[in-house]
Chains A and B, each alone.
Chain A
Amino acid sequence: ETGVTQSPTHLIKTRGQQVTLRCSSQSGHNTVSWYQQALGQGPQFIFQYYREEENGRGNFPPRFSGLQFPNYSSELNVNALELDDSALYLCASSLAGGMSTRDTQYFGPGTRLTVL
């Protein structure tokens, strides 16, 4: 086990609603990255947080936002949910402070979001 936890494990929402997903990083890790994985696809990078600041963002609209807390846990918020937001949301924690591209990422089990 990586020590990275996510909650909830499953979630069902309807279009237009808002959702908050949570991630607790592995002990000692200060960087959290969030990914969206649609069925049959690889994970798509949403953004990364390092010491409570956004440290890189993928091609996701502003309705995807996040936070990182002083204990390095993190939240992913998605507003105005769309059907295409249905996916597995993964978080990954890492140690190198987000300043090294060699940073190894350890994934949590994911939250499966279904938007109806």
Chain B
Amino acid sequence: RKEVEQDPGPFNVPEGATVAFNCTYSNSASQSFFWYRQDCRKEPKLLMSVYSSGNEDGRFTAQLNRASQYISLLIRDSKLSDSATYLCVVNTPIAGGFKTIFGAGTRLFVKA
């Protein structure tokens, strides 16, 4: 079982739609969670951190469920520019530091 799992998609949605992505993680000791966005042949860019209480940034809402070990990302009123791969990221303490595990990503295509 992978440490961080995401539905690879692709999700094909029309402009204005609401779309949700889920991500599950296997290590209960994981402490920090993030969503990154990656455009084709570009580096990942931080979209938002994910907090236990849930957090919102404009059209984007992230939630964390520690009991079930999953995080989610909701995008409302999708724009063409939201087309990208969305990467779930989990930081877990290990001896001497911590490790960062990325999911394989969920591809989103927003169409006019």
Contact = CB atoms under 8 A, between A and B. Distances in A.
A104 B49 contact: yes
B60 interface: no
Interface string A95-114: 00011111111111110000
A101 B43 contact: no
Contacts of B98: 48, 55-56, 98, 101
A65 B8 CA distance: 31
A30 to B, nearest CB: 13
Given A42-B87, A43-B44, A90-B43, A105 B100 contact: yes
Interface stretch (B62-70, B76-84, B101-109): B101-109
**Interface majority SS (helix, strand, loop, mixed), chain B:** strand
A102 B91 CA distance: 8
A107 B43 contact: yes
A50 B97 contact: yes
B96 A107 contact: no
Contacts, number: 68
A105 B32 CA distance: 12
* Interface residue tally on A, bucketed by range: 20 to 34
Contact of B31 (A2, A44, A58, A101): A101
Give me the 10 closest cross-chain CB pairs, A-B, nearest first.
Answer: A56-B97, A42-B102, A55-B97, A101-B91, A107-B43, A101-B32, A101-B31, A42-B104, A102-B32, A43-B102
Interface of B: 4, 31-32, 34, 42-46, 49, 87, 91-94, 96-105
12 contacts: A35-B100, A42-B102, A43-B44, A45-B99, A56-B97, A56-B99, A99-B97, A101-B93, A104-B34, A105-B46, A105-B100, A109-B43
